[in-house]
Amino acid sequence: MTTHISLCFLFSYVTFLPLIFTTFAQSQNYIIHMNLSAMPKPLTNHHTWYQSTLSSALQNSQFTTTTNNLNSLISSKFIYTYTHVMNGFSANLSPKEHELLKTSPGYISSIPDLPVKLDTTYSPQFLGLNPNKGAWHDSNFGNDVIIGVIDTGVWPESDSFKDYGMTEVPSKWKGQCENSIHFNKSLCNKKLIGAKFFNRGLLAQNPNATLGLNSTRDTKGHGTHTSTTAAGSRVDKASFYGYANGTASGIASNSRVAMYKALWKNGASSSDVIAAIDAAISDGVDVLSLSLGLDDVPLYEEPVAIATFAAVEKGVVVATSAGNDGPVLKTLHNGTPWVITVAAGTTNRDFQGTLTLVNGNKIVGFSLYIGAFSSNNFPIVFMGLCDSVNDLKQVKSKIVVCEDKNGTSVYNQLYNLGVAQVFGAVLISNVTLTDILYKKFLASIIVNPINGEIIKDYIKSFNSKNSSSIASMSFKKTVFGTKQAPSVDSYSSRGPSKSCPYVLKPDITAPGTLILAAWPSNVLVSHLGTKEAFSSFNMISGTSMACPHVAGIAALLKGAHRDWSPAAIRSAIMTTSDIFDSTKEHIKDIDDNKDATPLALGAGHVNPNRALDPGLVYDVGVQDYVNLLCALNFTQQNITTITRSPFNDCSKPSLDLNYPSFIAFFNGGNSSKTLHEFHRTVTNVGEGKTIYTASITPIKGFSVSVIPNKLVFHEKNQKLSFKLRIEVERMAKLKEVAFGYLSWMDEKHVVRSPIVITTIKLKS
């Protein structure tokens, strides 16, 4: 009998063992997005709801029905509750458990929690760059492509400018590093191959202008940051005070950098910017990165437009920033038709602090506090709007909770909390704060209103008992893959361009929020009390940070396709971009959480690997740009200012530039049209014979058609033309901005162009 029992046990064990191993072998981590509004009313804690949801899925799975200790199993599978950037949780699930979870009430979506290799700038990884294939591999990381940067100077001692393993400087390079104050030309190397500065125009306007340092050396940090974002060498063990710890790398880490300092502490002169670009062209740069611009200036007076026309004519690709005046429409600068205008988006990397309540509840929010911090069982108090510095000083030794009621008071709260020198703070707000607004010196966490209510209820429960509520705080946590990304950030300027509204701008979106790159070691990054804080890397935000990403990608494409024109590279970047985020939904505008229109997003979010093989490109020649300038009713003098030629052929003026995007104005400005037609020519840069078929996203209120709807190519570099027609169906129901897409598709490629239809008036 005993033997029989043993044999039965052995049989059961042997039969069951493969099931256990198979289950765990197939299990993987998932990040699950949940609809918080679907949480049953009896539950007041979303963490409890998530656990209950997981429990139901496990109970219904074949394996878990044989498990006695369900609570223990839930504990082992439940990984993390997300409370700030998304509503949901992560768990380790078998395929069957995962499928069962999908049927749960409130389930929205899930994504695999793939292994993450820490990469400080992170943008290359977020953009899908891989050393073994794609744009990095095919261009050898942009090897020997020269990126010129017009900015605030450079910090040559940064490890991001090390030239270990780089080949000799290309013979085509005609530039040099110039000696200047605290900058010896010997500081340059095979990575940093040029350094010049330009301020004569500024000093001519204002002889007493404050320069910071009359030298190419960077005393602001901006130029060091942008240049290393575009082409910085790999640096191990980089971080910003423990945030984003890992390896830093520029987009085109084998490209060369030439710095042209034309931006100074007291401003910049257009003449200096033009001189800098002029020198860059003469020196032999392949790509220009300009994180600068002017607002409300006609093209013929705009230094970027004037100087970059010559650069593009010489084959130089120019990337420029869209500006940081969003989210209002028509705030974009650098609407220049011959450059790439770059908007700024977020990544799926987040920086967090945690507030732990004495009841064990952990509230996670956004934080970039850089100081050392030790908090254990400190009193926590709610102070409403925190609008009185005197009141805050009375509770400065506590963790102070503030609530933002109108979306703007949070900025004043940060100031008041800093003046009062509170021990720690929690700000309840829906406002999206970048590092531009967020004070890194303050030990604080920003939480959303849902979590804010949990904190307020917790404090109230203690107050009702006449006892002190207790909490602790911790910081410096970097989290990946925790949110809907990318999104267009609110500060990024929106189109249409005032200087040339007939060309849809911006062109493309790239990572611009909280980008980490090199920083001068003696330039402040923050304060900690009365102490100054310094770092060799810094995290900052803006379209200034997005621009060098695209400059780096242009360098990769230039390295892989030396014969492509600047317009072809721009087209490849635009038509292969992404319009869907990590949740497979259309990329959102973070300002209103609605689908981002091309006036904010451009053609989409840049995808460098797909840009390597776009299939078709929309190329543009110099005369095409001249035809556009003529159609803008510029005088010959105006046009000559840009083209540098006194003989500009205006026999065929046309606002219809051969651009990979479309914008039609209806019932706005001087236009009362009910029909718009666009003519385009595409070049087959793919291999051999192919047939492309057109697909158009319907746009409500309009009939959009393409003639012909099929393009048959017989050979590489063949050009074919088509016509796009937009006709109003119901004029009375037109939106201010409506949009869709034209996609040309063959068996391998999708060549997509945005279509914007707007009633925005051309003149305010």
Domain boundary among 72, 92, 112: 112
- 372 or 231, which is more confident? 231
Between these two residues, 555 and 106, which has the higher pLDDT value?
A: 555
Band of pLDDT at residue 719, cut at 50, 70 and 90: very high
Catalytic residue among 46, 84, 98, 222: 222
Domain that holds residue 742: 616-620+657-758
Q: pLDDT for 403-443, tens place per residue? A: 987 666 787 888 899 889 898 999 998 776 554 445 567 88
- The average pLDDT across 13-35 equals 48
Q: Which of the two residues, 585 and 94, has the higher pLDDT score?
A: 585
Which one has a higher pLDDT value, 599 or 525? 599
Q: What is the pLDDT of residue 434?
A: 53
* Per-residue CA distances from 167 to 130, 145, 147 (Å): 22, 12, 16
- How many structural domains compose the chain? 4
How far is the C-alpha of 230 from the C-alpha of 157, rounded, in Å?
17
Is residue 391 located within the same domain as residue 474? yes
**Residue-wise pLDDT tens digits, 537-579:** 998 899 999 999 999 999 999 999 999 999 999 999 999 999 9
Does one domain contain both 13 and 134?
Answer: no
pLDDT for 663 beyond 70: yes
Residue 477, pLDDT score = 87
589 included as an active-site residue = no
Does residue 289 sit in the same domain as residue 317? yes
Q: With 60 as the cut, is the pLDDT of residue 238 above it?
A: yes
239 against 320, higher pLDDT: 320
Listed residues 71, 93, 112: the one ending a domain: 112
- The 10s digit of each residue's pLDDT in 142-186 is 899 999 999 999 999 999 999 999 999 999 999 999 999 999 999
Residue 332 sits in the same domain as residue 356: no
Is residue 171, in this structure, part of any structural domain at all?
A: yes
Tell me: pLDDT of 301 over 90. Answer: no
Is there a domain that residue 630 lies in? Answer: no
What is the predicted pLDDT for the residue at 465?
A: 67
Give the model confidence (pLDDT) of 196-226 as tens digits.
998 888 887 777 878 888 999 999 999 999 9
Judge whether 649 and 623 are in contact, CB under 8 Å: yes
User: Which one of the listed residues 151, 159, 435, 578 is annotated catalytic?
Assistant: 151
371 and 311 share a domain? no
**What pTM value is reported for the model?**
0.81
Give yes or no for residue 494 having a pLDDT over 50: yes
Q: Which amino acid is at 645?
A: S
Q: Please, are residues 305 and 333 in contact by the beta-carbon 8 Å criterion? A: no
Do 382 and 519 lie in one domain? The reply is no
State residue 33's pLDDT score: 63
**Cα(313)–Cα(622) distance, integer angstroms:** 7
DSSP state of 232: P
- Of residues 440 and 242, which shows the higher confidence score? 242
Mean pLDDT of the chain: 86
pLDDT per residue over 495-548, tens digit each?
999 999 999 999 999 999 989 999 999 998 887 777 888 999 998 899 999 999
Q: Which pLDDT belongs to residue 29?
A: 62
Place of tokens 């590092």: 435
Q: What pLDDT band is residue 239 in, cutting at 50, 70 and 90? A: confident
Residue 686 lies in a domain: yes
Q: Which residue has the higher pLDDT, 649 or 526?
A: 649
For residues 276 and 170, state if they share a domain: yes
Q: Give Cβ neighbours of residue 291 (< 8 Å, ≥ 6 apart).
A: 151, 222, 226, 320, 321, 542, 543, 544, 545, 547, 548
pLDDT of residue 118: 25
Which CATH number do you get for residue 706?
2.60.40.2310
- Return the biggest CA–CA distance within the chain: 109
Instruction: List CB contacts of 287: < 8 A, sequence separation 6 or more.
Output: 145, 146, 147, 148, 255, 316, 317, 318, 319, 551, 554, 555, 558
CA nearest 402: which of 394, 412, 548? 412
315 lies in the same domain as 424? no
Look at residues 498, 534, 502, 494 and name the one whose alpha carbon lies nearest to residue 518. Answer: 534
Question: Looking at the structure, do residues 509 and 476 belong to the same domain, yes or no?
Answer: no
For residue 426, the domain's CATH number is 3.50.30.30
| Band of residue 720 on the pLDDT scale cut at 50, 70, 90 | very high
DSSP assigned state of 78: E
The DSSP symbol for 579 reads: -
Tokens of 631: 């159609």
Q: Is the pLDDT of residue 352 over 80?
A: yes
Tell me whether residue 332 is in a domain.
yes
Task: Tell me which H or E stretch contains 343.
Answer: strand 340-345
Band (764; pLDDT cuts 50, 70, 90): very low
Q: Which of 681, 672, 670, 676 is nearest to 699 (CA)?
A: 676
pLDDT at site 93: 85
107 and 225 part of one domain: no
Q: Which of 310, 308, 303, 330 is nearest to 319 (CA)?
A: 308
Q: What percent of the chain has pLDDT over 90?
A: 53
| pLDDT bucket at 461, cuts 50 / 70 / 90 | confident
CA 104 from centroid of its chain's CA atoms: 33
Within 561-661, residue ranges assigned H as helices are 566-575, 598-601, 608-611, 622-631, 636-643
Do the domain assignments include residue 626?
A: no
Would you state the structure tokens that stand for residue 203, as one six-digit string? Answer: 């000093």
Q: Is residue 640 part of a domain?
A: no
Retrieve residue 729's tokens: 């169906």
Tell me the pLDDT band of 10, cut-offs 50, 70 and 90.
very low
Sign of the alpha-carbon dihedral angle for 712, 715, 721, 724: positive
In a domain, 638, yes or no: no
pLDDT of residue 436: 43
Query: Is 75 a known active-site residue?
Result: no
Q: Tokens for 227?
A: 């240049």
pLDDT in tens, 600-644: 999 999 999 999 999 999 999 999 999 999 999 999 888 988 888
User: Residue 558 has what pLDDT?
Assistant: 96
Confidence category of residue 668, pLDDT binned at 50, 70, 90? very low
Q: Are residues 135 and 66 in the same domain?
A: no
What pLDDT, on the 0 to 100 scale, is given for residue 344? 95
Q: What is the dihedral of CA 616, 617, 618, 620, to 10 degrees?
A: -140
Domain boundary residue, one of 430, 458, 480: 480
- Catalytic residue at 289? no
Tell me if 641 is assigned to some domain. no
Does residue 371 share a domain with residue 299?
Answer: no
Rounded alpha-carbon distances, angstroms, from residue 717 to 572, 608, 615, 618, 690: 14, 21, 10, 12, 12
Tell me which H or E stretch contains 96. helix 95-101
